[in-house]
């Protein structure tokens, strides 16, 4: 684990990702406290351009301060992204690990179920639910999480199957260790890296879906400040006051890029820890030969 | 470095070296020659650089490595000095290569016939279709494959392993090259198929005057096949010479150590491990690379010994790189077999009528076996014979199984839950040490968990147990804090054995536990098992397909064939005078290390 | 030329330890050419599974629109609706019947392409889908026609030049584009190409409904470009990693050592083996295109199926919502089915097997390899 962390620290991409995602996160968290104006107050001219000392980014379509709205508008999308991704990860990991450990038909049923859900494009599923059931934040979070869960299940199941086929898990079972011990100590630590990478990727998606949702007008209700909503509101004035659109676009892009870079470097660091080849490759050759002959003999 | 040039040599390798790009050397100063029709074996353990040499002979190196010096003269032309385009013309046509794993070396998307035709089309573009087909038919006949239209339309996955290897061989001889380089071509085959493929190869070389470089870790195969041997250690040639010279009176301590470490089916001799393990690429010593493991090492070994003729008595073309070459013959007379009196044999476990199946296919049919207390029983058989299923059934890891199992006078159910005491008393060690240890736990954690699981002891006591058991398997106590990835294959397997030992078992089931290890390491593990058995009266069930290992480790042997036991008896009697035809075939086909009559 | 190896033992005498001719049976199905393809039973099972998936999807769509909301009619009409109008709507949607009956009737009609009348425009919902579908299909066709060859050639080129400077830069660009949500890209492109910097393209796709969108390319450029930029990086990366994997395979090394020219190795040995991930990847992008397509269509006011769905959701036009989501999801199922069949057809090992085992989760694994959709 330590070698992996140090490898991450040396990776310039990881650092860049951390800076990007971290600064957006910090801004979203601290933003409301340092915002010069209330995000809802009408303080300037409609689509007023930047220039006033108090309004670095100008004013929006109602004359509200874009900077203040930008500082206040990150919290909703970020907490919802984190919540949705975390819920999806937890739920999907539990189901996926369970499927990987279950009897074949249960496993097949779970995989088939994920196939069904995966037939809906993420956004469509969310839209479908949100349009009919309402736009409460918890409902949106839950729906986005549900739309991510099949992917996590597939992933967790796949890596679990990979780990379960390793002899150390079988050794633990033969010793008679209790099942929770096998799952927590033998399986979970060994599938953590791909799950972590997936969390990063899901964050990227979640930001996209959630900001897209409010961009379409189904997310956070106006007049609250929200990046996706800001883009939507000020789109008509793109020609006059591009900053009102560009600033939230940049925020969303920066955060998505940051999490994506982080996920990329975690997965690179994870794959770099390999075993020495020599002996292993021959062992593999022999085992492949054996397996093939076994198949042929059984046929 | 002087190498006596052979005027009539087909291949002359001079001072060849391959290195990691901007990094350490993989092999260095490699010089040897091959005469027409001669088969030269390049032997060494994993990591010695033999595969790098094999591809370097064709002017290729794997990604990340470069050929950093030397020359490879084939028929007077230096392959390494050719341009890329010229080299492409030479490859396959003048010098060809046969890869290790036939299942991976054949493109799964291409039919056999199209692969064969492609080689002809690329190298001999003027050849018409009928001529091409004739050439293919000829090559197929040479390697013992049918050249029917139907066969050539098959995809690689529709062939058996032996057939796949023959296809690779056909691709290699299609253009009638002068030299074939073979990189462990039979590793993935069973002994009978291996024997046939090797016979084909030998005939090809003899009748066509094709030279061959046969790269292998399997000394017994090399002994049966080649004319001359080049022994590699850590990237250097330590010794080269005629086959019989090398095998009968190896002069380099490493060669001798290697031969002493190989268990031989032909006769029981104590396998002696070489202490330590081969250095990693970046840790190779400056002087003699074997010195740290050598019993004869002296101060002069800090100087790199050159590869030279060491006097007349060693014979023609005999070169050794050692400051203290050994001059006497190697003693390989087998030691007398242990006499086991019938009265002393008491069964620890008795199995009767064991039948098991996976899904629809039945794997074991009414198998009965007794495991004598304090002795080692080997369970041998080809892959798919059901030996792993049988051994797994003993620890209750097979669901669909019937039969009776009496353990230490107690009737035990074969399937279903087992009580903790029984789990402790029967321990299982897995084949692949690279997969048998949790990579996220330290060696200490792995061992402690087992100790605390079975015994009501305090944490401090568990730590003491861990230290003790590590000592028993000859590992340093500091290893407890390391992760498995820091250990070598042999060390990992020792940890796996330690995990079994810390449970204080009575019956140890070893499932091919040495097949993923190098011979010198394998010898150490076998040695350890024998010692444990002597000291604490362990009963061992040793599952293997390697009859040489059986000779070295087992007191009794049971032969499993298609899920049935076909022969069972004391090891030496069974290996010397097998009664059942299914036992005789593989014993006869297994390559032997000792010179056999004829 | 005499056979040198002539002492092949007759099969009866050869001990079963030998495996020399064990695979003959597997090849027998190849021999008789007139027989039905071996994978036909698999196809049957696969189609059945696809039908079952479609069935469950219909339940989900129905549940989300009609069963879950406590009173769909009130949701649709909003809080200010009169009791009378709510009752009328309930009758129109058949909400007064038991839920199972509702579903049975709805599903039965859906099978014939009949989804009821749009509450908003009084046009049959099926009609709306049919009208708009063509526009979306045209957009997607353009996107795929450009993105797939681009990604394929680019991926192969980058795989060959792996770790070169060009490769590193391309990978960085790919990470950037993959990270950006589709609507962010769309707005970026509008800013760049139709407003401030180079005002050369229309920001809004005012298609003439009488003419095929393919004949009005000026309106297609921006939406197509946006979607290409979302899809191509993903595909390109997939091709690249698949190609790298095959270029490192033993059979490629073996071909090289047989003196096969490099160009031939790439196109005749490596590319065919990289096809399967690409096929499955294209199937995966269909999801991406449908989801991203909706937003892109809205941004550019492109009159496609996604825009229609958005409009229907805004006014809670349940029949249209049901029709479009069901069409989309079933479309994805169909595309996956086609991809699986194509996979079996291009893979000899699967094609010749009576029980092709497409590894479960191939798609999910691909998704990860390319860094997600």
Q: CB C291 to CB A123 under 8 A? A: yes
Q: What is the mean pLDDT of chain B?
A: 87
Q: How sure is the predictor about C133, in pLDDT bands with cuts at 50, 70 and 90? A: confident
Residue with tokens 């099926």: C126
C-alpha to C-alpha distance for A290 and A181, rounded to whole angstroms: 32
Strands (E), B409-477: 410-412, 426-429
Q: CB A293 to CB B383 under 8 A? A: yes
Classify residue A226 by its DSSP letter: -
pTM of the predicted model, to two decimals? 0.83
Among residues B383, B337, B348, B368, which one has the least CA distance to residue B512? B383
pLDDT digits (tens, 9 = 90+) for C324-338: 888 888 888 888 889
pLDDT digits (tens, 9 = 90+) for B61-82: 887 889 998 999 998 889 999 9
CA distances from A16 to A51, A71, A77, B385, C102 (A): 31, 22, 22, 56, 55
ipTM score for this prediction = 0.84
Classify residue B304 by its DSSP letter: P
> What sign has the CA pseudo-torsion B174, B175, B179, B180?
negative
Backbone angles phi, psi at C280, to 5 degrees: -65, -35
pLDDT digits (tens, 9 = 90+) for C212-237: 777 777 778 888 999 999 889 888 98
Residue with tokens 């089916």: B265
Find the CB nearest A198 among C328, C332, C368: C368
Backbone angles phi, psi at A35, to 5 degrees: -65, 135
CB A81 within 8 A of CB A258: no
Distance in Å, alpha carbon of A69 to nearest chain B alpha carbon: 46
Residues contacting B288, CB < 8 A, separation 6+: B294, B297, B301, B302, B303, B304, B305, B321, B322, B323
Token pair of C255 as six digits: 């071909």
Q: What is the mean pLDDT of each run of 10 residues along chain A (299 residues)?
A: 63 86 89 80 77 73 83 87 94 93 86 84 80 82 91 90 89 89 91 88 87 84 85 81 85 88 80 41 51 53
Q: How sure is the predictor about C39, in pLDDT bands with cuts at 50, 70 and 90? A: confident
Residues contacting B466, CB < 8 A, separation 6+: B444, B447, B448, B451, B480, B502
Among residues B474, B43, B48, which one has the least CA distance to residue B278? B48
Q: Any CB–CB contact under 8 A between A151 and chain C?
A: yes
C-alpha to C-alpha distance for B344 and B349, rounded to whole angstroms: 15
> What sign has the CA pseudo-torsion C154, C158, C160, C166?
positive
CB B482 within 8 A of CB B443: yes
Chains in contact with A via at least 3 Cβ–Cβ pairs below 8 Å: B, C
Q: CB B438 to CB A285 under 8 A? A: no
Distance in Å, alpha carbon of B331 to nearest chain C alpha carbon: 33
Distance in Å, alpha carbon of A27 to nearest chain B alpha carbon: 36
Strand partners, B406: B350, B411
What residues 364-403 of chain B have any CB closer than 8 A to a CB of chain A? 382-385, 395-397
C-alpha to C-alpha distance for A33 and A31, rounded to whole angstroms: 5
pLDDT digits (tens, 9 = 90+) for C255-299: 999 999 989 999 999 999 888 888 888 888 877 787 778 888 888
Q: Is B71 helix (H, G, I), strand (E, B) or coil?
A: strand
CA distances from A120 to A150, B188, B339, C343 (A): 11, 45, 73, 22
pLDDT greater than 50 at residue B2: no
Mean pLDDT value across residues B236-251: 90
Angle at B203 (CA atoms; ends B197, B207), nearest 5 degrees:
155
Nearest CA in chain B to A104: B359
Mean pLDDT value across residues C138-151: 90
Token pair of C28 as six digits: 């027998």
C-alpha to C-alpha distance for C49 and C59, rounded to whole angstroms: 15
Q: Any CB–CB contact under 8 A between C251 and chain B?
A: yes
pLDDT digits (tens, 9 = 90+) for B163-182: 999 999 999 999 989 999 99
Q: Any CB–CB contact under 8 A between B471 and chain C?
A: no
C-alpha to C-alpha distance for C164 and C158, rounded to whole angstroms: 8
Q: CB A245 to CB C187 under 8 A? A: yes
pLDDT digits (tens, 9 = 90+) for A205-264: 888 888 888 888 888 887 888 888 888 888 877 777 888 888 888 888 899 888 888 888
Q: Residue A109: in which H helix or E strand, if any?
A: helix A104-118
pLDDT digits (tens, 9 = 90+) for C160-218: 988 888 888 888 888 888 888 888 888 888 888 877 667 777 777 666 777 777 777 77
Q: Any CB–CB contact under 8 A between C354 and chain B?
A: no
CB C161 within 8 A of CB A223: no
C-alpha to C-alpha distance for B575 and B583, rounded to whole angstroms: 9
C-alpha to C-alpha distance for B174 and C259, rounded to whole angstroms: 13
Strand partners, B511: B543
Residues contacting C275, CB < 8 A, separation 6+: C346
C-alpha to C-alpha distance for A147 and C64, rounded to whole angstroms: 14
The pLDDT value recorded for residue C20 is: 43
Q: Is B545 helix (H, G, I), strand (E, B) or coil?
A: coil
Burial class (CB within 10 angstroms; exposed 0-12, middle 13-18, buried 19+) of B211:
buried
């Amino acid at each position: 684990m330590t070698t992996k962390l140090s490898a991450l620290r040396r990776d310039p991409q990881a650092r860049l990702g951390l800076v990007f995602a971290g600064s957006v996160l910090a801004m979203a968290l601290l933003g409301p406290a340092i915002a010069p104006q209330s995000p809802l107050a009408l303080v300037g001219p409609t689509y007023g351009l930047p220039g006033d000392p108090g309004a670095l980014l100008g004013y929006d379509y109602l004359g509200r301060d874009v900077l203040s709205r930008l500082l206040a508008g990150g919290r909703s999308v970020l907490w919802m992204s984190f919540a949705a991704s975390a819920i999806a990860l937890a739920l999907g990991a539990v189901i996926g690990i369970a499927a990987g450990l279950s009897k074949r038909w249960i496993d097949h049923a779970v995989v088939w179920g994920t196939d069904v859900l995966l037939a809906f494009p993420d956004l469509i599923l969310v839209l479908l639910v949100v349009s009919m059931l309402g736009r409460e934040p918890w409902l949106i979070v839950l729906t986005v999480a549900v739309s991510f869960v099949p992917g996590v299940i597939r992933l967790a199941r796949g890596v679990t199957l990979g780990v379960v086929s390793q002899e150390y898990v079988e050794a633990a079972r033969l010793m008679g260790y209790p099942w929770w011990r096998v799952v927590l100590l033998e399986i979970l630590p060994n599938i953590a890296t791909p799950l972590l990478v997936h969390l990063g990727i899901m964050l990227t998606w979640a930001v996209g879906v959630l900001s897209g949702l409010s961009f379409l007008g189904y997310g956070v209700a106006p007049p609250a400040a929200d990046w996706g909503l800001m883009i939507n509101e000020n789109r008509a004035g793109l020609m006059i006051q591009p900053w009102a659109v560009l600033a939230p676009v940049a925020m969303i892009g920066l955060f998505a890029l940051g999490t994506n870079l982080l996920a990329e470097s975690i997965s690179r660091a994870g794959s770099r820890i390999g075993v020495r080849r020599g002996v292993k490759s021959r062992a593999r050759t022999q085992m492949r030969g054996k397996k093939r002959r076994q198949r042929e003999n059984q046929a | 470095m002087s190498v006596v040039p052979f005027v009539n040599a087909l291949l002359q390798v001079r001072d060849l070296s391959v290195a990691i790009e901007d990094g350490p050397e993989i092999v260095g100063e490699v010089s040897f020659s091959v005469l027409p029709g001669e088969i030269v074996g390049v032997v060494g353990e994993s990591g010695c650089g033999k595969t790098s040499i094999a591809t370097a002979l064709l002017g290729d190196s794997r990604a990340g490595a470069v050929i950093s010096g030397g020359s490879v003269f084939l028929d007077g032309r230096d392959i390494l000095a050719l341009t890329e385009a010229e080299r492409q013309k030479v490859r396959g046509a003048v010098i060809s290569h046969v890869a290790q794993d036939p299942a991976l070396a054949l493109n799964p998307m291409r039919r056999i016939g199209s692969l064969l035709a492609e080689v002809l089309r690329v190298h001999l573009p003027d050849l018409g279709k009928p001529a091409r087909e004739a050439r293919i038919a000829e090559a197929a006949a040479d390697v013992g494959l049918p050249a029917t239209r139907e066969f050539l339309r098959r995809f690689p996955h529709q062939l058996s392993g032996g057939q796949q290897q023959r296809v690779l061989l056909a691709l290699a001889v299609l253009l009638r090259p002068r030299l074939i380089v073979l990189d462990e071509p039979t590793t993935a085959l069973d002994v009978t198929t291996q024997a046939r493929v090797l016979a084909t190869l030998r005939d090809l070389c003899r009748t066509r005057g094709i030279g061959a470089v046969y790269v292998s870790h399997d000394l017994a195969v090399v002994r049966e096949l080649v004319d001359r041997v080049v022994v590699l250690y850590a990237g250097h040639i330590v010794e080269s010479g005629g086959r019989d010279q090398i095998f009968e009176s190896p002069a380099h301590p490493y060669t001798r150590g290697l031969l002493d470490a190989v268990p031989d089916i032909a006769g029981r001799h104590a396998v002696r491990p070489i202490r330590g393990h081969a250095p990693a690429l970046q840790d190779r010593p400056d002087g003699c690379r074997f010195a740290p493991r050598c019993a004869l090492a002296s101060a002069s070994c800090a100087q790199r010994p050159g590869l030279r003729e060491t006097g007349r008595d060693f014979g023609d073309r005999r070169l050794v790189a050692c400051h203290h070459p050994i001059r006497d013959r190697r003693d390989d007379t087998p030691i007398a077999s242990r006499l086991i009196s019938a009265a002393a044999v008491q069964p620890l476990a008795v199995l009767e009528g064991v039948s098991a199946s996976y899904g629809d296919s039945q794997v074991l049919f009414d198998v009965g076996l007794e495991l004598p207390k304090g002795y080692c029983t080997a369970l041998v058989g080809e892959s798919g014979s059901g030996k792993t299923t049988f051994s797994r059934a003993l620890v209750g890891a097979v669901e669909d199984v019937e039969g009776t199992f009496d353990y230490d006078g107690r009737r035990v159910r074969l399937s279903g839950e087992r009580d903790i005491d029984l789990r402790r008393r029967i321990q299982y060690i897995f084949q692949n040490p690279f997969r048998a240890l949790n990579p996220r736990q330290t060696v200490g954690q792995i061992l402690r968990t087992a100790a605390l699981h079975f015994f009501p002891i305090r944490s401090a006591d568990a730590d003491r147990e861990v230290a003790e058991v590590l000592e028993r398997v000859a590992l340093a106590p500091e290893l407890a804090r390391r992760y498995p990835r820091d250990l070598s294959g042999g060390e990992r397997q020792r940890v796996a054995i330690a995990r079994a030992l810390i449970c204080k078992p009575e019956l140890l089931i070893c499932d091919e536990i040495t097949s993923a290890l190098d011979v010198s390491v394998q010898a150490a593990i076998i040695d350890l098992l024998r010692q444990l058995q002597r000291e604490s009266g362990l009963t061992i069930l040793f599952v293997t397909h390697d009859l040489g290992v059986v000779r070295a480790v087992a007191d009794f042997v049971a032969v499993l064939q298609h899920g049935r036991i076909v022969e069972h008896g004391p090891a030496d009697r069974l290996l010397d005078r097998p009664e059942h035809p299914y036992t005789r075939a593989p014993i006869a086909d297994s390559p032997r290390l000792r010179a056999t009559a004829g | 030329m005499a056979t040198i190896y002539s002492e092949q033992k007759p099969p009866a005498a050869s001990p079963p330890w030998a495996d020399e001719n064990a695979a003959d049976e597997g090849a027998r199905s190849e021999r008789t050419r007139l027989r039905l393809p071996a994978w036909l039973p698999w196809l049957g099972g696969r189609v059945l599974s696809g039908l079952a998936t479609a069935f469950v999807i219909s339940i989900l769509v129905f549940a989300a629109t009609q069963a879950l909301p406590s009173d769909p009619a009130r949701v649709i009409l909003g809080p200010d609706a009169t009791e009378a109008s709510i009752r009328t709507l309930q009758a129109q949607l058949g909400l007064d019947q038991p839920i199972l009956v509702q579903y049975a009737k709805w599903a039965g009609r859906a099978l014939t392409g009949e989804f009821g009348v749009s509450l908003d425009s009084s046009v049959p919902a099926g009609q709306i889908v049919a009208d708009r579908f063509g526009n979306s299909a045209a957009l997607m066709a353009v996107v795929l026609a450009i993105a797939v060859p681009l990604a394929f050639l680019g991926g192969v080129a980058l795989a060959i030049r792996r770790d070169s400077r060009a490769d590193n830069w391309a990978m960085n660009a790919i990470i950037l584009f993959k990270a950006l949500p589709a609507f962010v890209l769309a707005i970026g492109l509008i800013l760049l190409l139709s407003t401030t910097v180079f005002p050369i393209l229309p920001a809004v796709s005012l298609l003439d409904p009488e003419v095929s969108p393919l004949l009005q390319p000026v309106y297609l450029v921006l939406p197509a470009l946006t979607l290409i930029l979302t899809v191509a990086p993903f595909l390109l990366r997939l091709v690249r990693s698949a190609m790298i994997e095959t270029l490192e395979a033993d059979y490629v090394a073996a071909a090289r050592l047989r003196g096969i020219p490099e160009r031939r190795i790439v196109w005749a040995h490596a590319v065919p083996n990289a096809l399967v991930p690409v096929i499955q990847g294209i199937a995966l992008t269909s999801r991406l295109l449908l989801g991203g397509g909706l937003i892109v269509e809205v941004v550019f006011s492109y009159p496609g199926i996604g825009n229609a769905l958005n409009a229907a959701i805004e006014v809670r036009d349940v029949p249209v919502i049901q029709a479009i989501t069901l069409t989309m999801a079933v479309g994805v199922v169909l595309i996956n089915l086609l991809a699986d069949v194509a996979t079996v057809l291009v893979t000899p090992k699967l094609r010749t097997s009576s029980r092709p085992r497409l590894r479960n989760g191939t798609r999910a694994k691909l998704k990860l390899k390319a860094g997600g959709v």
